[in-house]
Structure 1
């Protein structure tokens, strides 16, 4: 059973992935893979530097993520250029990791930008972690120390809440307590494993 897990920035998607892992799902995390494919010494990093410039390298040869973020988050054209480099590399890694799982495993692909990539149809189910924009802005300001402007800009750079909900086969509302979140994730996990069986 292949499940796509997505949610906008500060929706609580990572918390849901953690709970799913505790319940026995195999998690393949798109954010982790997106970092891996541009680590020091990788062909991915070489292509990013070739495209955007040497100034994106730190003194020790790693990618300066903040500098790259400043370029791509407010410029759709630059973001597309970056995605054209990173996305194919990430999908190669996904395929390799998935091939290593067993036939009865519930494999959850944690993909922040699933609605943006148009790949929801590649999965047996799509789980969307949802919270209103205002709740997510509050979380980014409170928990991450972002300015309200930065939080709003990041939300604006992603698919709309409506676009994400449109691809969902299961929605996990994350506006309540940690216990309520866990109960809902357990419910969805049971539904997914029943469907897989």
Structure 2
């Protein structure tokens, strides 16, 4: 199994990162996976087997993470379409969506060196940052078990699934997002079906 996994080890308050950090974010989460996939694809295509895996994140839809979320949506969209393009060669694509695992990840979260701008104090951005600091070291997920599942241990549907959701917390968030999308579609049903010739 070939894993193409890219994670940001130090994350930032994305409302406040500078231009260089934004470019690094795009390179890490968007362009490097594209180039790496392009580089390994001929070899695994000739073997007609393998898995190209990418890491998404629980932070999707978290306020203050709009740039990070955009980069992850890009990677997920790429992976979804890639799965349709390479499945006939016996290659599967896997989007790994981990929840909160007890690693050092949250300890690395920091605001910009200037701190939170006055305009954002007491806002959702401030609350999210403080919540992350409060849960660091208290996450319920076991990183060893997550790594085992990523490598395939305990996955009964290997090669048949596009997404591997790891953790009760992220399962609940994804379920809530799907339910919200269904409510949005239902609320707009009349308008949606009113556009035919």
Q: Larger C-alpha radius of gyration, 1 or 2? A: 2
Per chain length, whose mean CA-contact separation is higher, i.e. which structure has more relative contact order (CA < 8 Å, sep 6+)? 1
The structure whose residues are more often helix, as a share, is: 1
Output the TM-score relative to the length of structure 2: 0.29
